[in-house]
């Protein structure tokens, strides 16, 4: 009897230790992501003097000095505006070009479908920012150099594979029977799409549009190669890295991070669905 | 309209777009790389490869990828397994872990600069603990190893999330019955991981590694923020050929070299992790 009662005791205690190690490592990994972000936040919300002083406080002093310096720095606000303009263009271009292809992939079997999917997947195995080099020459010839639209075209190339794959997975999630029912009730292919499918996938489309926005917002290399006067925020910060004071860099970095936090939160439901389908 | 034509009409915009802005630029960049204004030549490649910065930037890029990618693979596998058996708070933990996915490499470089710069948080912590009297200038030419570590940490911090997302999605596709069967036969958690998760995860591992390795060769802004010119990498050299040296042909040649390296490793990964015929889920 004694043996039976004693046996589970060590088992339970190893379980307990295991459980503790598990929770501790989850917490540690969360801290690994969050603590560096917190440091950036402290720097952003401190006065320029504090940012350049030593040692650093570990609590933000909620001084807007760095932020107002950032806003007043010559060219920074227009760079911010350029970033937003390019990202919005990228968003519109990649969804309006990519979504029809996503629909075609999910609803039709056609010759060349595999080839087309290969082309899409191929773009992801290439260092795409390198495209900016030849396009810089091409854009000068066509008058697109140093324009928001020219850069948006390159960023759309980056975003389009994702737009196609995400919308493909979204459309695949809507049973074709819904569309067929709408057809029998007198809808055409187009009205069935706009009245039945579109309302259902609109949240998902929004998510993938936000994704396109962030891809463009974050891109550094092509932006730095293709813009001279009309720099985006990333390109502007990159060329100012060697000369800019620390508080400018940190405030700029913070502004770059904010949309990312919103983005991940907005698309968190779709993040895994979209990569799951991209695996096959 | 002929319904058989509809799918082609729908994929036409993407195909045209990628034709003009993906395939055509690659033709252009090859032309640039193989010419110096006259006919076909390999001079650009010769110039680029014999430049004194080429071996060091090549070595740095490769070394960084060789250290960072395996660590990220292990870390993302660990995180993905931890998440897969989580009951409470799974969404919150996944949100936190995937935050870096949306963060630009430039921003990631700046974030780690806040830690490693001379008046930064690492120095502040060390002096708070009494380990140092004077703040150390970690990111100077005297500390090449620390610059490397800082860049590697920033890369691991930033780009593990992309692998994590792909692997979590992949683990989600593995049928639960396999694990249940293994448990019935008494397989330990480690056995279940090596005999079920890893083999079944092969397509996801493929995608994750290809994406990650290609991105690793593109490392640029993190390095610019943390190492500046002290840690030359291939992408940075391309940028300086284009702007500082105004040599488009050399930039194109180096770009093709980066491209060749990316394709080479993509093929290796696809081959090593190929999915045997008939073994898909």
Sequence-distant (6+) residues with CB within 8 A of B153 are: B112
Could you tell me the pTM of the whole model? 0.87
Q: Residues B89-138: pLDDT tens digits?
A: 888 898 899 999 889 999 999 999 999 988 888 888 888 888 888 888 88
Percent of chain B past pLDDT 90, that is, above it, reads 32
Asked if the structure places residue A58 within a domain, the reply is no
* A3 pLDDT more than 70: no
Of A153, A164, A253, the CB nearest to B14: A164
Q: Which residues of chain A have a CB within 8 Å of the CB of B127?
A: 54-55
CA distance B115 to B117: 6
Quick check: A277 pLDDT over 70? no
What confidence score (pLDDT) does residue A216 get?
92
Which positions 109-148 of A are in contact with B (Cβ < 8 Å)?
110, 113, 116, 119-120, 123-131, 133-138
**In chain B, what are the domain boundaries?**
18-272
Q: Minimum mean pLDDT among A224-228, B2-6, B222-226: which range?
A: B2-6
| pLDDT tens-digit series, residues A127-155 | 778 888 888 888 888 888 889 999 999 99
The answer to whether residue B281 scores a pLDDT higher than 60 is no
Structural domains counted in chain A: 2
Rounded Cα distance between A84 and A69, Å, is: 20
Contacts of B251 in chain A (CB under 8 A): 133
Its domain, for residue A18, covers: 2-44
Q: Give me the interface pTM, i.e. the ipTM.
A: 0.87
Mean pLDDT, range B250-260, rounded to an integer: 90
Does A52 lie at the interface with B, CB-CB under 8 angstroms?
Answer: yes
Contacts of B78 (CB under 8 A, 6+ apart): none
Contacts of B204 in chain A (CB under 8 A): 279
Q: Name which of A161, A174, A152, A176 is nearest A208 in CA terms.
A: A161
pLDDT at A2 over 60: no
Q: How many CB pairs under 8 A join A and B?
A: 269
Q: How confident is the model at residue A10 (pLDDT cuts 50, 70, 90)?
A: low
Same domain, A135 and A265: yes
Separation between Cα atoms, residue A75 and residue A57, nearest integer Å: 30
- The alpha-carbon gap from B181 to the nearest alpha carbon of chain A, in Å, equals 22
Per-chain mean pLDDT for chain A: 84
- The length of chain B in residues reads 281
A80 in the same domain as A34? no
Q: Is A261 within 8 Å of chain B by CB?
A: yes
A266 touches chain B (CB under 8 A): no
CA angle A198, A149, A94 (to 5 degrees): 25
Residue A245 lies in a domain: yes
3 state DSSP class of B52: coil
If asked whether residues A38 and A160 sit together in one domain, one would say: no
CB-based contact B95 A265, cutoff 8 Å: yes
pLDDT at A70: 84
pLDDT in tens, A14-72: 788 888 898 899 999 999 999 999 999 988 888 888 878 777 778 887 878 788 888 88
- Distance CA(A57)–CA(A64), nearest Å, equals 16
CB-nearest to A43 from B114, B123, B135 is: B114
Do A132 and A219 lie in one domain? The reply is yes
Q: How far B221 CA lies from chain A's nearest CA (Å)? A: 7
| pLDDT tens digits, one per residue of A163-202 | 888 888 888 888 888 888 888 988 888 888 888 888 888 8
Q: Does the beta-carbon distance from A157 to B220 stay under 8 Å?
A: no
B3 or A161, higher pLDDT: A161
In CATH terms, B18-272 corresponds, of 3.40.50.720, 3.40.50.300, 1.10.3720.10, 3.30.1490.20, to 1.10.3720.10
Mutate to test the interface with B, among A36, A41, A111 (most CBs of B within 10 A): A36
Q: Is the pLDDT of residue A274 over 70?
A: no
My answer on whether A107 and A151 are in the same domain is yes
């Amino acid at each position: 009897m004694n043996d039976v009662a004693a046996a589970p005791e060590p088992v339970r205690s190893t379980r307990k230790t295991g459980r503790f190690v598990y929770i501790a490592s989850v917490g540690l990994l969360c801290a690994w992501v969050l603590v560096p972000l917190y440091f950036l936040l402290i720097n952003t919300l401190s006065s320029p003097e504090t940012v350049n002083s030593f040692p650093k406080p570990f609590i933000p002093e909620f001084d807007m000095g760095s932020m107002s310096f950032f806003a007043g720095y010559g060219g920074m606000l227009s760079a911010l505006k350029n970033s937003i303009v390019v990202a919005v263009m990228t968003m519109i271009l990649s969804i309006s070009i990519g979504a029809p292809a996503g629909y075609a992939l999910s609803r039709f079997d056609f010759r060349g479908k595999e080839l087309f999917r290969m082309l899409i997947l191929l773009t992801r195995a290439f260092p795409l920012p390198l495209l900016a080099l030849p396009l810089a020459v091409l854009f000068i010839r066509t008058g697109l150099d140093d324009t928001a639209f020219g850069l948006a075209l390159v960023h759309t190339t980056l975003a389009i594979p994702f737009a196609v794959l995400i919308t493909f997975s979204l459309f695949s999630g809507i049973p074709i029977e819904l569309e067929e029912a709408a057809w029998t009730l007198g809808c055409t292919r187009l009205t069935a799409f706009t009245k039945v499918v579109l309302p259902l996938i609109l949240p998902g489309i929004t998510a993938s549009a936000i994704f396109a926005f962030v891809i463009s917002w974050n891109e550094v290399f092509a932006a730095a190669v293709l813009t001279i006067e009309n720099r985006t925020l990333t390109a502007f910060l990159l060329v100012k890295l060697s000369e800019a004071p620390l508080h400018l860099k940190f405030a700029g970095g913070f502004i770059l991070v904010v949309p990312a936090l919103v983005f991940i939160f907005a698309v968190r439901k779709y993040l895994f669905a979209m990569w799951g389908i991209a695996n096959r | 309209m002929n319904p058989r034509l509809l799918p082609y009409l729908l994929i036409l915009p993407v195909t045209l777009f990628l034709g003009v802005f993906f395939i055509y630029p690659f033709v252009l960049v090859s032309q640039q790389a193989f010419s110096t204004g006259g006919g076909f030549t390999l001079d650009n490649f010769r110039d680029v490869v014999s430049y004194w910065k080429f071996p060091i930037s090549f070595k740095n890029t490769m070394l960084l990828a060789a250290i960072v990618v395996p660590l990220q693979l292990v870390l993302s596998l660990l995180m993905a397994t931890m998440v897969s058996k989580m009951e409470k708070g799974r969404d919150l933990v996944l949100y936190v872990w995937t935050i870096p996915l949306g963060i630009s490499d430039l921003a990631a470089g700046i974030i780690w600069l806040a830690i490693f710069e001379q008046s930064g948080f690492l120095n502040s912590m060390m002096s708070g603990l009494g380990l140092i009297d004077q703040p150390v200038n970690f990111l100077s030419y005297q500390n090449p190893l620390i610059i490397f570590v800082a860049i590697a940490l920033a890369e691991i911090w930033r780009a593990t999330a992309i692998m994590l997302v792909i692997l979590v999605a992949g683990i989600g596709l593995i049928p639960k019955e396999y694990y249940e069967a293994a448990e019935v036969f008494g397989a330990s958690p480690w056995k279940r991981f090596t005999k079920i998760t890893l083999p079944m995860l092969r397509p996801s591992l493929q995608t994750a590694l290809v994406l990650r390795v290609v991105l690793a060769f593109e490392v640029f802004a993190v390095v610019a923020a943390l190492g500046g010119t002290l840690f030359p990498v291939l992408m940075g050299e391309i940028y300086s050929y284009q702007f500082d040296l105004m040599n488009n042909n050399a930039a194109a040649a180096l770009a093709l070299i980066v491209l060749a390296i990316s394709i080479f490793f993509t093929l290796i990964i696809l081959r090593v992790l190929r999915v045997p015929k008939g073994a898909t889920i």
